[in-house]
Amino acid sequence: MLKLDLTTGYPRSVRDKVLGVYQLGRAFDKGIATANGTQGEYHYNCPMDKGVLGFLGIDAEKLMSEIKKANSQNDLVAYAKPFVDKKSPAEITHFNEEFLKSAPATGSDGEKYFFEMRNQVAPTRTDVTTWPDLLDLDEKRPVPERVLA
């Protein structure tokens, strides 16, 4: 079984593409760590994982079964490839563009959590308004400053 310890490191960035798709590698990483009991604060099949897996038509439990028997990341890529191949390049581009805009709904509990987390991680970065940017900041990845409209 593959090993990955998210108690001592981070999963891949949302922006790291696998088969041209954002978030898929991160979902793999969290699944691998979950299968090993080393997921730490991370949650496999969280709303962002559900977004990419739902787009591709991949069942999270079936993917977990594949993760548990995989010998390499290549096994997971091979499992996901037929699902990705069913999508056109335009569909993938649209998904990726929209995915990077993922933000909490105004007035929601998610928005409250988002602001609490942003204020802990980078209180001066009010330009950070999306989950991908906040996750990258939290995991010490550079996030370019943006001018808010």
Please say if the pLDDT value at position 17 is more than 90: yes
What is residue 149's predicted lDDT score, i.e. its pLDDT?
66
What is residue 142's predicted lDDT score, i.e. its pLDDT?
94
Please say if the pLDDT value at position 122 is more than 80: yes
* Mean pLDDT (whole number) for 28-56: 97
Please say if the pLDDT value at position 70 is more than 90: yes
> What does the DSSP assignment read for 62-127?
HHHHHHHH-SSHHHHHHHHHHHHHTS-HHHHHHHHHHHTT--PPTTSHHHHHHHHHHHHH-TT-TT
Whole-number Cα distances in Å, 115 to 22, 100, 105, 132: 23, 18, 12, 14
Polymer length of the chain: 149
C-alpha neighbours within 13 Å on the C-beta side of residue 35: 21
Please say if the pLDDT value at position 49 is more than 90: yes
* Mean pLDDT (whole number) for 43-53: 97
* Mean pLDDT (whole number) for 51-64: 98
Q: Please, what is the average pLDDT of the chain?
A: 96
* Mean pLDDT (whole number) for 135-139: 96
* Mean pLDDT (whole number) for 129-137: 96
What is residue 130's predicted lDDT score, i.e. its pLDDT?
96
